[in-house]
Amino acid sequence: MHLSLYLPLLFPLVATVSARPLAERLEPRVATWVLTGAALALAAASSLVLGLLTVAGLVRIPLVAALADLSLPVIRRGQPPAWWVAVIASLLLAAAVIAVARTLWRRTRAFLAAEEAACLPGPRQLVVLEDPAADAFAMPGLPGKIVVSTGMLAALDDRERQVLLAHERAHLRSHHYLFTNAAQLAAAANPLLRPLASAVAYTVERWADEHAARVTGDRRRVAVTVGKAALAARRTRATRPVSEMVLGALGRHRRPRAAGGPVPRRVAALLAPAPRHRPLPLAASAVLLAATALCAHQAYHDLHHLLRLARIS
């Protein structure tokens, strides 16, 4: 069978290396869409190839070939993958299916819990919790809620509170939890895509940051708010409810310690000029996804053609 059968298994390595540069260089909203779409496409392509390898190995078994009315000599002349390749592929595919099912189940439960928790008292979108721990997050639901602790409000001044609310409203209005969950499902199917899921978690925060900067008209103020909120949350160590689903405590992105962590990167981006449209990274992403789709299609076509020949013979 053609070498293209294996290429979709290697392309996620390219995406892993490219995830952070794309997250940094593309406009955050565009980066979120590109990275999420790439994660889903690469996960689907790699899963398809694992399935094709599994099928190609199964038809080498005389009993399976006989039951499917296939000619073993024709199949062998088509040079299908070795049996051990098919065994590894089948194990990886089974592990991917189990991981996706578990992740989907956890996410569904968390979403239902978030939906129930979003029905907090009062008709207002903003809910203030009496809690000395500094925290703020957008809780998805119908309708969604923005939950802010008294500890976070005490840590910020009036203008910084406006920044915080604009940031959290961006999470709700743009349904950022859908992007992060989709990327995490893709990473469950293919662990090589975890850097893309992490990049999406970063770009949705940058998306919300840029929205807050546009609303308030003060990028520096947003940068200061991100830093202050991060320090306050880290100092008080708030514990969020429904932690798998809620999004976007300002600055609380895995409590970074290194200078190159998400919060310092977000602050640096806000202190720089607003991001511009960059066609070159977009073109490179499009080429990678087109190559992935083409190779996956070619692999499917090769196996389909081989099985058709074996059945005709």
**CA-wise closest residue to 201 among 55, 17, 39, 7:** 39
- Calpha distance 265→275 (Å, rounded): 13
Query: Which residues in the chain come in under a pLDDT of 50?
Result: 242-258
- Calpha distance 235→244 (Å, rounded): 22
Domain ranges of the chain: 3-312
Q: How many CA atoms lie within 13 A of 20 on its CB side?
A: 7
Tokens 């599994």 locate to 54
Contact between 183 and 39 under an 8 Å Cβ cutoff? The reply is yes
Which pLDDT tens digit goes with each residue over 189-203? 999 999 999 999 999
pTM (two decimals): 0.84
Residue 37's CB is within 10 A of a number of other CB atoms, namely 16
Q: What is the CA radius of gyration of the chain?
A: 24
- Calpha distance 154→140 (Å, rounded): 24
Residue type, 180: T
Contact between 274 and 219 under an 8 Å Cβ cutoff? The reply is yes
